[in-house]
Amino acid sequence: VRHSQHRARPCAPTGPLGVQLSPHPSLRRRLCILKGIYPHEPKHKKKVNKGSTAPRTFYLLKDIKFLLHEPIVNKFREYKIFVRKLRKAYGKSEWGTAERLKDNKPTYKLDHIVKERYPTFVDALRDLDDALSMCFLFSTFPRTGKCHVQTIQLCRRLAVEFLNFIIASRSLRKVFLSIKGIYYQAEVLGQPITWITPYAFSHDHPTDVDYRVMATFTEFYTTLLGFVNFRLYHSLNLHYPPKIDGQAEVELKPAEGKEYAMDSESYLEKLSALSASLARVVAPTQEDDVEMDEFPVEGETAEQMDARKKEQEALEKHKKLFEGLRFFLNREVPREPLAFVIRCFGGQVSWDKSLCIGATYDVSDPSITHQIVDRPRVEQQVVGRYYLQPQWVFDSVNAKLCLPVADYFPGVLLPPHLSPFVTEQEGDYIPPEKLKLLAMQRGEDPGEESEEEEEEEEDDDNDKDEEEEDESEKEEEIKLKKMEEQKTQSNKALPVKVTAGKVRLEDKQRLEQEQQSEEKRLAIMMMKKREKYLYKKIMFGKKRKIREV
Amino acid sequence: DIRNTVGNIPMEWYQDFPHIGYDLEGKRIYKPIRNKDELDKFLEKMENPDYWRTVQDKMTGADIKLTDEQVDLVHRLQKGQFGDVHFNPYEPAIDFFTHEVMIHPVTNRPADKRSFIPSLIEKEKVSKLVHAIKMGWIKPRKPKEDTPTYYDLWAHEDPNSILGRHKMHVPAPKMKLPGHEESYNPPPEYLLSEEEKLAWEQQEPAERRLNFVPQQYRCLRAVPAYPRFIQERFERCLDLYLCPRQRKMRVNVDPEDLIPKLPKPRDLQPFPTTQALVYRGHSSLVRCITVSPSGQWLASGTAPRRHQTLRRCRSCSGASLHASSEQSVLLVNPCLGDKLLYGATDQVLESYVPPEEERVQPVQWLTATSEEHGRGIRLTVQHSKALKQVTWHGKGDYFATVVADNSNMQVLVHQTSKRWSQNPFRKSKGMVQCVLFHPIRPYFFVATQRYVRVYNLLKQELTKKLMANCKWVSSMAIHPAGDNVICGSYDSKLAWFDLDLSTRPYQLLRHHRKALRSVAFHKHYPLFASGSDDGTVIVCHGMVYNDLLQNPLLVPVKVLKGHALTLDLGVLDVVFHPTQPWVFSSGADGTVRLYT
């Protein structure tokens, strides 16, 4: 499935089908967005377009009729009338009438549209990507202008609820720090769900964006996401709306000390701190983790079963990546993404009390194992913990193992951050860092030095810094040696041979090759036009790939 | 008391006068005599202890010394205090209304009557409301809905709810997942170089492969906000509701499978493969070449102008050539080879007996003078217009010429033994490019720009019209067996016609990159060659089977290169050796090349 190249201008879609959908294009647009009606590409464009080839948008007649039967059309009309009356009342300064009208403000619900568009829950999950990205974007909007404050608050609430669910279900799989924002990928009920969140900066609102379109989308997406959240929470036996676990709540209370904010607001704040676990409807028992019975699937060999089992184990291990580690976030690192990622993999996380509500322990806590720092150097280092740059967390998650820490110390030039979404096919270019990582995942070359380093560091922390330097020097030496070896090897391997016999042999081969290539060229000449076109296209794509590599 | 009566006017108006205004009696008030210079002023400032409290009255121009009270007032005003010394701004306030309820009313006014009876205005308003409610204009307040906003929507998943439209639904493709280049800290090889960045900037936003420039940041702290984030989300929204969706089948073929399986050229030998000889001698383009039937002699013709061609006569004697100059065809006996043969040729030419009555002919036949006879020229056929092409019939008695003309006189057929010419066509059917005699049957091929017409010479009728499917036919050749014709065209196509099969080409070969100039068949071997302006001669294997059901097999076997391009022209003529699998080609670089 793909989008066609052109996107007709939004004002174009009148359709040649002769159906006057509604007098106002904005209503038509809203209906199309809410009901998920999209244009179609006619088979005979010229025939439908009365002989013209101008780009126009075509809808199916069926779809348009379907839109007209939507009960929400009447609600929209009612709302329009309400707005008109209200404006009139204000104009006449009839405050009583205005109040009365406001009390009877017509409302509409999109529940039935959600149900209609997604008859099963899995369908809804499949389409959740855009909904999440949009909600996360809207939740970062300022509370002025642009769109309704309620929408922004709702988006924020739903987004936080979703994050909490992901933490509770530990279903995050991949994270990627891009220049556009942070990509997350979670797996819910076997469906990969990818969403992007912008970096936490205020937006420079562009002028060439129609916020009404976005608001209509968001309206639908918030409804969808709310229902999905409800269902997801119930699938884990969690309360919805979410409740913070009783214990954690008690822990949180004294940390506040005094009145923090309004009750309703502070609750959302506490939730969005992402540090507390959620309350369950049924208290979890110890035997919750019952081993799954194994049903052999027909037509599956033992090898496949084994492979599946192994995969399952790897997944379980991945879920418990940060189990037992205690992190502390410095105030210069982005708190929310890091807290989310760390909590998703079982780690404990805290931050400075003045930074955000929900901090569970202090910097001085001796049990902290990792402190995430994003400064060139740290003034007062506490013995017994790693000071790391935030990329370590993300890289470790993507690598599915805790990477050696040496590359991520503060002030160190970071190794490249690779996209976890790329799966290289044969012949594609693979960056050397990825190769190294793959080798590490296979367990071939986990970097013995680095492991030793860790042990040593754990043994005697006192002269850690000096050792670090030493080790980095050692590493450099080793690298240099390796490079030299490679060079000498390559020198040795050069096929420089001067004997006459050999040269002739090579010539023969080359001749044969030439002959073959000529044969191929001649055969290509005999191809039919259409096949030749296809062939050239494929070869062009291949060549481009090679060139890029 | 000096009172100035000028009023409230700017006193500068009196600047240049000796007086400063008028008193009550209308007499001038003179300015005090001011003869103090700067030094006097300074001395006064130094010496006069009251200088600081002296001000000049603008109205009278006199100096006034401020009294102590006045100075005091000025000081107080400067400090923002009240002018009056005795004014107390902080006097205690006396409340008129107190919280204590007094037993007596503040005013002694008795209550109105209207405060005891129901209000008429209110009654009117209420009755209006009641009426409106009765008429249904005002609706009572709706009861608050207490259904929760969110509930388990998919509690009862009904398989029947999956309708046809859900099956028809094309889900929107997901957003493209980011690659390594989008990372905030990508591997350095993914960063754009300066030229690439420049190229990226010059491209249209639609045709860029990446919609961002990869960038590298030292640490996460340094990563700024992405300025186009909202736009990209918005574009995604537009895509979702404005883009037509359709399912596209992805072609997943191995490109190697697309290449047709052809017999290997190695198995189709013999064919010319290498350049064996280069004949130099011409200084300009070699327009045409021909080989003697024995294969021993090669004649080539140069052409400063277009219409000088050289054709071989394949007569029974076989040793006669003809050359055509601007407007005439010269029949030449080069006197080469077997003496018997060329003697017989001369005999045939001389055995002409002029008919009794002179017939009107479109051309003039002239016998050569003795001087010309010595140079080998035997006959001259004088045309009225320039000649384009000359071709011989297989028997050697007839030849046909094409004249550059637009009338019906374009094609002429000449008979040598009777020295007689005729014009076979009554009407012109377009620009004739070339003509050909069928090697066996009495057919005559006439190629116009887009069609090849086949005439039956015996029945004097059009048998076939071959559609060449190309814009402009340049040359034509016929298979020795007579059932297949190839046409080269200026739009770099070569059409192979099977005359028994159809009037459309059996195959169109687009081997050359530029216009084809000449095509040729080999007499014995299943080979044909085409020469083109791109400087190459392509030799193809063209096997024609006796079995009518089997289609001819066409396989390109060799691309022969060698001719250099001059004036955008490459190969101009291609001729096969009559007996050997060799090919001669003449080019615009003034050479004739032999490939063996």
**pLDDT tens digits for range A416-473:** 898 888 887 776 777 788 888 888 877 765 444 444 334 444 444 444 444 444 555 5
Contacts of A208 in chain B (CB under 8 A): 231
HSE toward the beta carbon, residue A199, CA cutoff 13 A: 20
Q: What is the pLDDT of residue A225?
A: 94
B92-96 mean pLDDT: 80
**Residues pairing with B389 in the sheet:** B402
Distance from CA of A411 to the nearest CA of B (A): 9
Contacts of A179 in chain B (CB under 8 A): 182-184, 212, 214-215, 217, 223, 226
CA distance A242 to A205: 33
* pLDDT of A10 strictly over 50: no
CA distance A135 to A195: 10
Q: What is the pLDDT of residue B260?
A: 76
Helices (H), A494-528: 500-525
* pLDDT of A288 strictly over 70: no
A70-91 mean pLDDT: 92
CA dihedral of A403, A404, A409, A412, whole degrees rounded to 10 = -90
Most A CBs within 10 A among B149, B156, B180, B551, hence the mutation to make, goes to: B180
Per-residue model confidence as pLDDT tens digits over B535-575: 888 888 888 887 777 888 888 888 888 888 888 888 888 88
Please report the sign of the dihedral spanned by the C-alpha atoms of residue A488, residue A492, residue A493, residue A495: positive
A338-347 mean pLDDT: 90
Q: What is the pLDDT of residue A361?
A: 85
Assign 3-class secondary structure to B30-72. ECCCCCCCHHHHHHHHHHCCCHHHEEECCCCCCEEECCHHHHH
The answer to whether the peptide bond before residue B270 is cis (omega within 30 degrees of 0) is yes
A62-80 mean pLDDT: 87
- B125 or A511, which is more confident: B125
Residue B238: pLDDT band (50, 70, 90) is very high
- Name the residue in chain A with its Cα closest to that of B160: A119
Angle among Cα B471, B475, B476 to the nearest 5 degrees reads: 110
CA distance B166 to A513: 55
- Name the residue in chain A with its Cα closest to that of B166: A117
Distance from CA of B206 to the nearest CA of A (A): 9
* pLDDT of B123 strictly over 90: yes
CA distance B562 to B276: 11
Parallel, antiparallel or unpaired: strands A182-188 and A172-177: antiparallel
Contacts of A121 in chain B (CB under 8 A): 154, 157
Helices (H), A379-447: 391-399, 432-442
CA dihedral of B397, B398, B403, B406, whole degrees rounded to 10 = 170
- A194 or A524, which is more confident: A194
- A92 or B460, which is more confident: A92
What is each CA distance from B548 to B178, B442, B499, B508, B521, in whole angstroms? 60, 21, 11, 20, 20
Helices (H), A106-203: 111-117, 121-126, 128-138, 149-169
Residue B156 Cα to chain centre, angstroms: 57
Q: Are B23 and B3 in contact (CB under 8 A)?
A: yes
Q: What is the pLDDT of residue A232?
A: 92
Q: Are A160 and A270 in contact (CB under 8 A)?
A: no
* pLDDT of B282 strictly over 90: no
Q: What number of C-beta contacts closer than 8 Å exist between A and B? A: 280
| Chain B CB within 8 Å of residue A418 CB | yes
| Chain B CB within 8 Å of residue A40 CB | yes
HSE toward the beta carbon, residue A497, CA cutoff 13 A: 10
Q: What structural domains does chain A harbor?
A: 25-110 (no CATH), 117-249+263-273 (no CATH), 321-419 (3.40.50.10190)
Average pLDDT, chain B: 82
Q: What is the pLDDT of residue A219?
A: 93
SS3 B497: strand
* pLDDT of B328 strictly over 80: no
Q: Which residues of B439-455 are buried (b: 16+ CB within 10 A; e: fewer)?
A: beeebbbbbbbbbbbbb
Which helix (DSSP H) or strand (DSSP E) does residue A316 occupy?
Answer: helix A302-319
**Residues pairing with A188 in the sheet:** A191
Contacts of B169 in chain A (CB under 8 A): 36
| Chain B CB within 8 Å of residue A222 CB | no
pTM comes to: 0.63
Amino acid letter for position A330:
N
Distance from CA of B156 to the nearest CA of A (A): 9
**Domain residues of chain B, as ranges?**
11-78, 267-352+360-595
- Name the residue in chain A with its Cα closest to that of B206: A5
- Name the residue in chain A with its Cα closest to that of B264: A519
Of A426, A425, A407, which Cα lies nearest the Cα of A417? Answer: A407
Helices (H) and strands (E) in chain A, counts: 20, 8
Distance from CA of B177 to the nearest CA of A (A): 6
DSSP B272-325: --SEEEEE---SS-EEEEEE-TTSS-EEEEE-SSTT-EEEE---SS---EEEE-
Backbone φ, ψ for residue B355 (5° rounding): -70, 165
Residues 395-414 of A with CB under 8 A from B: 413-414
- Quick one: B76 exposed, middle or buried, by C-beta within 10 A (0-12, 13-18, 19+)? middle
Of all residues in chain A, the percent with pLDDT exceeding 90 is: 21
- Name the residue in chain B with its Cα closest to that of A39: B244
Distance from CA of B218 to the nearest CA of A (A): 7
Indicate the angle between helix axes A25-35 and A211-235, nearest 10 degrees: 20
Tokens of B286: 């070699």
Lay out the sheet containing A370-372: strands in order across. A348-351, A326-329, A370-372, A386-388
Residues 61-80 of A with CB under 8 A from B: 62, 66
Which helix (DSSP H) or strand (DSSP E) does residue A338 occupy?
Answer: helix A335-344
Distance from CA of A302 to the nearest CA of B (A): 32
A70 backbone φψ class: left, alpha, beta (φ>0; ψ -120 to 50): beta
* pLDDT of A100 strictly over 80: yes
- Name the residue in chain B with its Cα closest to that of A372: B220
Residue B145 Cα to chain centre, angstroms: 62
- Quick one: A120 exposed, middle or buried, by C-beta within 10 A (0-12, 13-18, 19+)? middle
Tokens of B519: 């095509």
Residue B73 Cα to chain centre, angstroms: 90
Q: What is the pLDDT of residue A284?
A: 53
Lay out the sheet containing B571-576: strands in order across. B275-279, B592-595, B583-587, B571-576
Domain B267-352+360-595 has CATH 1.10.3720.10: no
* pLDDT of B315 strictly over 50: no
B135-160 mean pLDDT: 81
Kindly provide the residue ranges of all beta strands, DSSP E only, lying in A395-465, ordered along the sequence.
none
Amino acid letter for position A94:
E
**Residues pairing with B561 in the sheet:** B536
Parallel, antiparallel or unpaired: strands B19-22 and B28-30: antiparallel
User: Cβ of A177 and B183 within 8 Å?
Assistant: yes
Q: What is the pLDDT of residue A262?
A: 60
SS3 A167: helix
A87-96, A119-128, A514-523, B243-252: range with highest mean pLDDT:
A87-96
* pLDDT of A223 strictly over 90: yes
CA distance A396 to A175: 10
**Residues pairing with B456 in the sheet:** B443, B461
